[in-house]
């Protein structure tokens, strides 16, 4: 089993090599190298041409009644790290700002334990590319990576959160995370000389109005008790001060706790964008893509058992959390397989996705020990029920 020092070294190595969605080649190489050092007796380590950076490791159980899956996401974000840590990202403009380096390390810690202590049930460790975009979970399912002998009967995963202290685990019955829709909007007008606005059709003004009107969607069209979010995170338009912009490009994300809510916001956004296009005599191209970012719905029975385990474990503080507006393509996988996702406290003042995000590493052993303890108890419970 990996020691705390070994886990920390692995996490720091992974932290230095963040790669974007579906480009996780170095990360995969590193994971395979670490896994190669574990006891291989009951392990089957697999990669796949259909999703080249994914890894699945199957551990054969001693007398299995089912296959239990555990998923860790692998990709980083297009963020320039500003932590000044000695093990900062070595990849310019890329950062593990969402804690996926910790997610992978926790998975390796659990995997290394069960490679030395054969579990009763089969275990499946899915190192998943592309959580931040491209929806690697959905791709894996559609390309039948998680089928046949590799089909999990249950699936578990965690996400780190800076909002909880180390030693605290957050979870809830029902919806843990929102579903999301990725938004891409292009507005097309007429470029021209800054001195002759009457001869051009300015898409900076149209885009500014669009961003402004978008703010009314949640505040005026959505039930405030149900809630929703629409954020425009990127707006590009124009080339220089004295040229009127004939094109504007906007990117954003919609968040809602139910499919109905997401669809309602999608519909309002289409209507508002069409209205702006009409009033500015512009052409609009709007692309809304939900991919696999479905709401994360925790399975009632498994999650109740998991929460019960946490409440009875003295080293852990359990906290019931509110649903969060973060998205996760594990939501897609939980729509196919029953399971539970939970928050692992890593306590930091910086938020997820911030360039200064610096999660506390002591949380790694909390994650590893929690999952080893829970899975062991869970498998024994199955044995008792046979
Ligand atoms: C936990 C987390 O931060 N997840 C991401 C998931 C990305 C969702 C999708 N690409 C989108 O932007 O809509 C998040 O941003 O919540």
CATH classification at residue 300: 3.40.630.10
- Cα gap 124→133, rounded to integer Å: 23
Do 158 and 210 belong together in one domain?
Answer: no
Q: What is the pLDDT of residue 384?
A: 57
Whether 290 is in the pocket of ligand 1, judged by its Cβ within 6 Å, is no
Please report the pLDDT score of residue 382 as a whole number.
62
Domain that holds residue 14: 4-177+296-385
Say whether both 190 and 332 belong to one domain: no
* Pair (202, 312) in one structural domain: no
Q: Are residues 46 and 157 in the same domain?
A: yes
Is 132 annotated in the active site? yes
The CA radius of gyration of the chain, in Å to the nearest whole number, is 23
Whether ligand 1 lies within 6 angstroms of the CB of 357 is answered as: no
Q: How far apart are the first and last CA of the chain?
A: 29
- Give the integer Cα–Cα distance in Å for 130 and 254: 19
133 lines ligand 1 (CB under 6 A): yes
In the reported structure, the alpha carbon of residue 270 is separated from the centroid of ligand 1 by a whole-number distance in angstroms of 21
- Summarize pLDDT for 52-99 with one digit per residue, the tens: 999 999 999 999 999 999 999 999 999 999 999 999 999 999 999 999
The pLDDT tens digits for 91-145 are 999 999 999 999 999 999 999 999 999 999 999 999 999 999 999 999 999 999 9
Catalytic residue flag (residue 202): no
User: Closest Cα to residue 357, out of 102, 36, 58?
Assistant: 102
The answer to whether 7 touches 368, Cβ cutoff 8 Å, is yes
The phi and psi torsions of 342 (rounded to 5 degrees) equal: -145, 165
Residue 93 C-alpha from the chain's centroid: 19
Checking ipTM against 0.85, whether it exceeds it is yes
Query: What is the rounded CA–CA span in Å between residue 369 and residue 283?
Result: 55
Residues 103 and 144 in one domain: yes
- Are 113 and 368 within 8 A, CB to CB? yes
Q: Which of 248, 265, 289 is the last residue of a domain?
A: 289
The pTM of the full predicted model, rounded to 2 decimals, is 0.94
Which has the closest alpha carbon to 293: 328, 248, 257? 328
- Domain co-membership, 74 together with 195: no
Side-chain half-sphere CA neighbours of 174 within 13 A: 7
């Amino acid at each position: 089993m990996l020691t705390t020092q070994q886990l920390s070294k692995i996490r720091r190595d992974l932290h230095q090599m963040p790669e974007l969605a579906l480009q996780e080649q170095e990360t995969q190489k590193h994971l395979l190298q670490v896994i190669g050092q574990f006891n291989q007796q009951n392990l089957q380590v697999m990669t796949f041409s259909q999703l080249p950076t994914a890894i699945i490791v199957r551990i054969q159980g001693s007398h299995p009644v089912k296959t239990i899956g555990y998923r860790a996401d692998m990709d980083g974000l297009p963020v320039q790290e500003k932590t000044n840590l000695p093990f900062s990202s070595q990849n310019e403009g890329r950062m593990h700002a969402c804690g996926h380096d910790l997610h992978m390390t926790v998975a390796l810690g659990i995997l290394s334990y069960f490679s030395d202590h054969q579990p009763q049930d089969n275990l499946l460790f899915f190192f998943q590319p592309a959580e931040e975009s491209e929806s690697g979970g959905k791709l894996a399912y559609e390309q039948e990576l998680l089928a046949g002998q590799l089909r999990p009967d249950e699936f578990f995963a965690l996400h780190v959160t800076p909002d909880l202290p180390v030693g605290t685990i957050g979870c809830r019955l029902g919806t843990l995370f929102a579903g999301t829709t990725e938004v891409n909007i292009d507005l097309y007008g007429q470029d021209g000389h800054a001195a002759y606005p009457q001869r051009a059709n300015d898409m900076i003004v149209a885009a500014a109005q669009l961003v402004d009107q978008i703010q009314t969607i949640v505040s005026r069209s959505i039930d405030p008790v149900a809630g929703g979010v629409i954020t425009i995170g990127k707006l590009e338009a124009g080339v220089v001060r004295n040229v009127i912009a004939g094109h504007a490009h906007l990117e954003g994300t919609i968040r809602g706790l139910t499919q109905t809510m997401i669809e309602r916001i999608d519909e309002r956004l289409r209507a508002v964008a069409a209205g702006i296009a009409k009033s500015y005599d512009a052409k609009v191209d709007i692309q809304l893509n939900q991919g696999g970012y479905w709401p994360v719905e925790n399975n009632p029975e498994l999650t109740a058992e998991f929460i019960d385990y946490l409440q009875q474990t003295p080293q852990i503080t359990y906290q019931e959390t509110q649903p969060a507006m973060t998205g996760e393509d594990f939501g897609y996988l939980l729509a196919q397989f029953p399971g539970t996702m939970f928050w692992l406290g890593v306590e930091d003042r910086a938020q997820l996705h911030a360039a200064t995000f610096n999660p506390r590493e002591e949380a790694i052993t909390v994650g590893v020990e929690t999952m080893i303890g829970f899975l062991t108890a869970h498998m024994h419970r199955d044995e008792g029920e046979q």
